[in-house]
Amino acid sequence: MESVRSIKEMQVFSESLRNNGKKISFVPTMGYFHEGHLSLMKEGKKRGDCLVVSIYVNPMQFGPAEDFTRYPRDFERDRKLAEDVKADVIFCPENEEMYPEYYQTFVDVEEVTKNLCGFSRPAHFRGVTTVCAKLFHIVKPHVAIFGKKDFQQLVTIKRMVQDLNIVLEVVGMPTVRETDGLAMSSRNVYLKAQERESALSLSRSLVIARKLYEDGLRDSGKILREVRKYIEGNPYTGIDYAKICDTTTLKDVEYLEGEAVLALAVKVGATRLIDNYVFGETLDI
């Protein structure tokens, strides 16, 4: 497995692969791998001849009061895990090269980023779309794999790729969970022992919503009331949002008719966790 830091080197390598008719699959990450990341990499291996995994904690997508500096990092561990799943290249660019002096170009996807995390974390998605657009130009992938755990991110990237006519297939993969249902996240390491149980309130409330839906309830307000009640019944929790949205527009829906997603962002202690459930899809909890 190759480790590449230089943007130019990555571009030259990708270009030569393309010239040799190879299919490049790409998994962009911020590192500190867990099984969720590895599931994307395994899918990437199936879908391409060369799997590139990027590790880049992108400063542009963190707000000033967020956890950029303390975001967990462990390159050696990540390198071994990526090697185990036979990733071909790890690309880890430097901030100075990604955003040099005089940098001033941004990609904004306007509508689907207004609700949910876009509301709570202004400028977050602008950072995500800008870095992904840059990474797509550097890695030149044919297929990029993202997790559905970051549902709004996936919708936003798909929108950007379509709107900017980027020739790229974007694939969304199911959320990988701990055996008790907690969605895997690099940020789970922040949870204190006593908060870990309360963190389960997210996935458990998704199960409650699924049951209500399967029993025929279609009124978003009524489903959300039960979801909120359950989460608030757990110590250390503070709901940032609990919403039911159309899966294409990400606008709130009052009544479940078309495809809809229940999206949650909940602070458990000081840790902000997200999770979601697309009504009618399987939920392995």
Binding footprint of ligand AMP on the chain (CB under 6 A): 29-30, 36-37, 39-40, 146-147, 149-150, 173, 175-176, 183-186
CB of 176 to ligand AMP, least distance (A): 4
Of residues 256 and 263, the one with the C-beta less far from ligand AMP: 263
Q: Residues 34, 37, 124, 142: which is the catalytic one?
A: 37
124 assigned to active site = no
- From the CB of 229, what's the least distance to ligand AMP, in Å? 25
Shortest reach from residue 30's CB to ligand AMP, in Å: 4
Shortest reach from residue 254's CB to ligand AMP, in Å = 28
> For the stretch 159-192, what's the b/e string if a residue is b when 16 or more beta carbons lie within 10 angstroms of its beta carbon?
bbbeeeebebebbbbebbbbeebbbbbbebebbe
Nearer to ligand AMP, 184 or 224 (CB): 184
Whole-number minimum distance, CB 178 to ligand AMP, in Å?
A: 9
What is the spatial distance between Cα 125 and Cα 211, in angstroms, rounded to a whole number? 32
Three-class DSSP category at 18: helix
Of the candidates 104, 98, 108, the residue with the CA atom closest to the CA atom of residue 156:
108
d(CA 56, CA 63): 16
- Distance of CA 147 to CAs 3, 165, 172, Å? 23, 22, 5
Please state, in angstroms and as integers, the Cα–Cα distance from residue 212 to each residue in 115, 151, 171, 207, 233, following that order: 24, 22, 29, 9, 18
Name which of 187 and 228 has its Cβ closer to ligand AMP. 187
For ligand AMP, which is the closer residue by CB, 30 or 107?
Answer: 30
- Which residue number, 87 or 224, has a Cβ lying nearer to ligand AMP? 87
Exposed e or buried b per residue across 240-265, where buried means at least 16 C-beta atoms within 10 angstroms of its C-beta: bbbbbbbbeebeebeebeeebbbbbb
- From residue 258, alpha-carbon distances to 157, 209, 218 in Å are 21, 16, 11
Angle made by CA atoms 116, 122, 208, in degrees to the nearest 5: 20
In the complex with ligand AMP, the residue whose CB is nearer, 7 or 135, is 135
- For the bound state, the minimum distance from the C-beta of residue 39 to ligand AMP, rounded and expressed in Å, comes to 6
Please give the positions annotated as active site: 37
